[in-house]
Amino acid sequence: MRTLCLNADEAGLKTAGSILQQGGLVAFPTETVYGLGADATNPTAVARIYTAKQRPSFNPLIAHVGSLEEARRQGLFSPLAEALAEAFWPGPLTLVLPISLTATVCDLARAGQPSVALRVPAHPIALALIQAAGRPLAAPSANRSGRLSPVSHGDVLTGLDGVIDAVLTGETCRIGVESTIIACLDGQPRLLRPGGLARESIETVISRPLAEAQPGVVQSPGMLASHYAPRALLRLEATHLLPHEAGLDFGCSFRCFDRNCQPVLDLSPSGDLHEAAANLFAFLHLLDRQNFSCIAVAPIPKRGLGEAINDRLQRAAAPRG
């Protein structure tokens, strides 16, 4: 099977929508990373996502919908969840909510849990595809499970060419890290995964600190200890390069002779965390293609989007099963 590359025009979106309606898989751009879409109401289609990604079936998927109105059909919104949706949708925020009696997202997409993860993406191609398909789209990142998330259609094809039905072409994803995931299940919003929306922005809206995820409970994507990994090993908090290492720098912290002798990419020479987040997966992909056994990563502040960047790096550097 050849993976179709479709332009995101009227004809391409019509073809992609038809593929999804027939139970196929279509990768598409969002403002965060490329997603691998399937009809979230069709368990056979959702099963194809798990197979294509080689993903554990206990790991839930995010259902992408076109509006808050459609999200209300799928999940039960508390006042706090409503406030977050009103403030940040469309955008890089996923809400995990109790499942509604009117929900159509299938049990397999929810990994058998009595909750559903929902997002309204802020990307015109993603929203147009949801409309063309006419149903919620289960859409994890369009990569092999545990590997680097894709931020371009070329990244998608590197890992999934010939495995999925189609990919919609588009510009490199603007934010570059996955959505922030908040659980609104027990009266206390919990941060399950830091992402493209900073913790501080969320806490301003809800006027309280976010609680942390419950240890050992997988309620959403991105909670496995080892995830987002390149083939190369990562050495975090590095202040210099060792022989035979590539470098992922931040704020020009590596010494000049390191940068001259070995390949180094700087996430943001000026120390801008938004720029660093946007470049994270793209730069890791570039360095990983050079077949180094290890990538040294400079320290990155943990404030704002730095929390999400450090989360991805720590999971990428975790021991692999």
b/e code 10-49 from CB counts within 10 Å (16+ = b): eebbebbbebbeebbbbbbbbbbbbbbbbbbbbeebbbbb
Amino acid symbol at 32: T
Asked if 116 contacts 70 with a C-beta cutoff of 8 angstroms, the reply is no
| Strand runs labelled E in 198-315 | 211-212, 233-235, 245-249, 264-266, 294-297
**In this structure, what token pair is assigned to residue 142?**
């369009």
Least-confidence region, from 30-39, 200-209, 310-319:
310-319
Kindly report the number of other CB atoms within 10 A of residue 169's CB atom: 17
Give me the pLDDT at residue 111, please.
Answer: 81
Asked if 133 contacts 69 with a C-beta cutoff of 8 angstroms, the reply is no
4-6 and 35-39 strand pairing:
unpaired
Mean pLDDT across the stretch 286-292? 87
Mean pLDDT across the stretch 124-136? 98
On the question of pLDDT at 89 being above 80, the answer is yes
166-168 and 180-183 strand pairing:
unpaired
Greater confidence, 205 or 223?
Answer: 205
Mean pLDDT across the stretch 162-177? 94
Give me the pLDDT at residue 319, please.
Answer: 77
d(CA 110, CA 127): 21
Classify domain 4-212 by CATH number.
Answer: 3.90.870.10
On the question of pLDDT at 222 being above 80, the answer is no
Q: Given pLDDT bands bounded at 50, 70 and 90, which one contains residue 258?
A: low
Domain with CATH 3.40.50.11030 in the chain: 233-317
Classify domain 233-317 by CATH number.
Answer: 3.40.50.11030
Question: Is 250 exposed, middle or buried, given 0-12, 13-18 or 19+ CB atoms closer than 10 A?
Answer: buried
d(CA 277, CA 227): 17
- CA 99 distance to own-chain centroid: 22
Give me the pLDDT at residue 10, please.
Answer: 97
Give me the pLDDT at residue 282, please.
Answer: 81
Amino acid symbol at 270: S
On the question of pLDDT at 226 being above 60, the answer is no
Percentage of residues of the chain with pLDDT beyond 70: 92
Phi first, then psi, for residue 71 (nearest 5°) are: -60, -40
Percentage of residues of the chain with pLDDT beyond 90: 65
Greater confidence, 189 or 111?
Answer: 189
Give me the pLDDT at residue 311, please.
Answer: 83
**In this structure, what token pair is assigned to residue 167?**
């990919």
Q: Given pLDDT bands bounded at 50, 70 and 90, which one contains residue 260?
A: low
On the question of pLDDT at 165 being above 60, the answer is yes
pTM of the model: 0.83
Q: pLDDT by residue (tens digit) across 32-87?
A: 999 999 999 998 899 899 889 886 656 789 999 999 999 999 999 999 999 999 99
d(CA 307, CA 303): 6
Q: Given pLDDT bands bounded at 50, 70 and 90, which one contains residue 281?
A: confident
On the question of pLDDT at 121 being above 70, the answer is yes
Domain with CATH 3.90.870.10 in the chain: 4-212
d(CA 52, CA 63): 17
82 Cβ contact partners less than 8 Å away, ≥ 6 residues apart: none
Least-confidence region, from 126-130, 191-195, 306-310:
306-310
Asked if 222 contacts 55 with a C-beta cutoff of 8 angstroms, the reply is no
On the question of pLDDT at 228 being above 80, the answer is no
